[in-house]
Amino acid sequence: MAQVGRPTDYSPELIDKICDRLTQGESLKTICKDADMPNTSSIFLWLAKYSEFSDKYARAKSAQMDTMAEEIVEISDDRSNDISVDDKGNEKVDWECVQRSKLKVDTRKWLMSKLAPKKYGELKTLQHQGPDGGPIKSEVTERGAQVGVWLDKLDPETRKKVLDAAESSDPDK
């Protein structure tokens, strides 16, 4: 007798099918709509329970990001529906189609940057440097110099107490 309903039993063959489809760019939600696939709650339970599935799933999601990158190029290069011809033979730009293509590209870019930020995210760097890329100059301020002069006037025992108190109250330590 044939099985009725969605599969609920974990099997390596089923996992391979799911991961293959993810790699090809299908979403988990789309995959789980098929009658011969488990529902998403079963998949999430399996991800938590089976480390081999979790590993395969992670690799499939990574490959899915690469597939999306390729899709971005295809969508961007596809001009097939951008221009239509009316009854009089006049060409007209279909701005709705152009905007939909832009939305598809932007959505994929956003997803890729969130799901694979190290590979597809915006690179942000912070550099500390002085003018023309040189070192940062540090100078003793007039106030700092006055403190130094004042400390030099103290006897060694009092000076040590002041410096120890300053060090113990330093919030950066």
pLDDT tens, position by position, 151-169: 788 888 888 888 888 777 7
Which residues have CB under 8 Å from 72's CB, separation 6+? Answer: 105, 108, 109
Range with the lowest mean pLDDT among 17-21, 92-96, 133-137? 133-137
Range with the lowest mean pLDDT among 16-30, 56-70, 80-94, 121-135? 121-135
Euclidean distance between CA atoms 128 and 136, whole angstroms:
7
Q: Between residues 124 and 77, which one has the greater pLDDT? A: 77
Give domain limits for the chain: 12-120
pLDDT of residue 146: 76
Which residues have CB under 8 Å from 57's CB, separation 6+? Answer: 18, 19, 22, 47
Place of tokens 């939600």: 29
Other Cβ atoms within 10 Å of 113 Cβ, number: 14
Q: What is the pTM of this model?
A: 0.62
Residue-wise pLDDT tens digits, 64-92? 999 999 999 999 999 998 998 889 999 99
Other Cβ atoms within 10 Å of 59 Cβ, number: 13
CATH 1.10.3210.10 fits 12-120, yes or no: no
Strand partners, 84: 92
